[in-house]
Amino acid sequence: MRTITQVDITNLRVLLRVDYNVPIDDKGEILDDFKIKESLPTIRYILKSAKQLIIISHLGRPKDRPTPELKLDKVALRLMKHLGRNIAKLNDCVNIDIPDEKVVMLENLRFHKEEELNDEGFAKKLASYADFFVNDAFAVSHRAHSSVVGVTKFLPSCAGFLLQKEVENLDFRNPKRPFVVIMGGSKLSTKFHLINKLVPMTDKLLLGGAIIFTFYKSQGFEIGKSLCEDDQLTAAKLLSYNEKIVLPKDVVVAPQISEKAPFKTVNFKQIPKEEIGLDLGADTIKDFKSKLKKAKTVFWNGPLGYYEIENFSKSTYEIAKLLSTLDAKVVIGGGDSAAFVQKLGLMDKFTHVSTGGGASLELIENGSLPGIDVLKH
């Protein structure tokens, strides 16, 4: 994969694909600008020598037409604040005249259906504004979209610093050992292939989240009203035979998912029929910590409990705090895990916090992504 330090962009017009799909509230106000901050090293590097920088991104899921609350105006303002310079924000991304401003931001790419269709004509229009293309949008590089894959047909291209950092940190082929993986989340169906990929590489794979109840049920244990994927029972049973996979010893249960619900800790074999498993118990947290303290490489993806409610966030909180103190390579795999460590103010305590949820998992699982493959040639 060609990277930005390997090319000469002096006096060139550079088209930069970033991922500014930041979380926003109902009024379009930015709730978290982590992704914007992560793009700054690439932007500042380009501005040192390029003639012009043209930034493109998407935001949210508009229905192929302009949506006022998903316009990139407030994103542009936040970027201006971080850069300390003016940005010319345009009202569309195609059929436009590019002004002479040093930094230009085009409107939400997904206001046009052609973006997600990887339409060649749409990609060619985007490419016509520049002399060179830089992809720094790791979180969408698993999508074969016009602004990720299509434009590379028309412009010389390379990866930005963020994309490079993601690829390097999510490579676990030769980890320092012990290598421990923590896998949480709700659905085994979305993690099965990834777990299969990681098990041969890892020394221990610790399971948490609602995934565990599919494993328990596959072994014949009562899981009450806990979330379970019945169509994944066979897969769970097969994985259970692997001695590297560690299931929780105890779980926190409650009659309903509520801040006011009474809760208690029970052995995993004794979940009441009318209760829901919502967090890992104290014995499991202790067990997981003992295994993690020895680790030299850790990859964590997915919360370990229903962390949105404080009573069921203890395991996720305790493990995050421990990982922040380890003398080891610790990579947080994006999505809900990244949101949680951001909430705790621990972002700078880890080796790497991925900006991509699905992209990070697909990269580990497949070894590459469509947006990366096109930068290899």
DSSP string, 120-175: HHHHHHHHTT-SEEEE--GGGTTS--TTTTGGGGTS-EEE-HHHHHHHHHT--SS-
Instruction: Provide the pLDDT for residue 338.
Output: 81
For 173-195, what is the mean pLDDT? 93
Cβ-proximal residues to 210 (8 Å cutoff; 6+ apart), any chain: 185, 186, 187, 226, 227, 228, 277
Q: For residue 318, what is the enclosing H or E element? A: helix 314-323
Asked if the model's pLDDT at residue 235 lies above 80, the reply is: yes
Instruction: Provide the pLDDT for residue 153.
Output: 97
Q: Count of CB atoms within 10 A of residue 39's CB?
A: 24
User: What is d(CA 187, CA 185) in angstroms, rounded to the nearest whole number?
Assistant: 6
Instruction: Provide the pLDDT for residue 66.
Output: 87
Asked if the model's pLDDT at residue 357 lies above 90, the reply is: no
Instruction: Provide the pLDDT for residue 337.
Output: 80
Q: Which residue has the higher pLDDT, 205 or 27?
A: 205
Mark whether 131 and 195 lie in a shared domain. Answer: no
We report the CATH number of the domain holding residue 143 as: 3.40.50.1260
Q: What is the CA radius of gyration of the chain?
A: 22
For 64-83, what is the mean pLDDT? 93
With cut-offs at 50, 70 and 90, classify the pLDDT of residue 63.
Answer: confident
Instruction: Provide the pLDDT for residue 128.
Output: 98
pLDDT digit string (tens) for 293-314? Answer: 999 999 999 999 999 999 999 9
Asked if the model's pLDDT at residue 6 lies above 90, the reply is: yes
For 250-261, what is the mean pLDDT? 96
Domain-located, residue 227: yes
Instruction: Provide the pLDDT for residue 339.
Output: 80
Mark whether 271 and 146 lie in a shared domain. Answer: no
Answer yes or no: are the C-beta atoms of 122 and 150 closer than 8 Å: yes
pLDDT digit string (tens) for 320-353? Answer: 999 999 999 999 986 778 888 888 888 889 999 9
Mark whether 122 and 183 lie in a shared domain. Answer: no
| Range of weakest confidence among 53-67, 116-130, 224-238, 326-340 | 326-340
Mark whether 174 and 162 lie in a shared domain. Answer: no
Mark whether 155 and 265 lie in a shared domain. Answer: no
| Range of weakest confidence among 64-68, 156-160, 163-167, 188-192 | 64-68
Instruction: Provide the pLDDT for residue 334.
Output: 67
User: What is d(CA 179, CA 295) in angstroms, rounded to the nearest whole number?
Assistant: 6
Mark whether 138 and 270 lie in a shared domain. Answer: no
Mark whether 125 and 26 lie in a shared domain. Answer: yes
Domain-located, residue 373: no
Instruction: Provide the pLDDT for residue 223.
Output: 97
Residue type, 247: L
Domain-located, residue 369: no
Instruction: Provide the pLDDT for residue 376.
Output: 87
Mark whether 19 and 135 lie in a shared domain. Answer: yes
User: What is d(CA 38, CA 252) in angstroms, rounded to the nearest whole number?
Assistant: 36
Residue 116: domain span: 4-166
Torsion angle, CA of 83/147/139/40, rounded to 10 degrees?
-10
Domain-located, residue 372: no
For 224-230, what is the mean pLDDT? 96
Mark whether 134 and 212 lie in a shared domain. Answer: no
Closest CA to 292 of 206, 353, 354: 206
Q: How many domains does the chain have?
A: 2
Domain-located, residue 224: yes
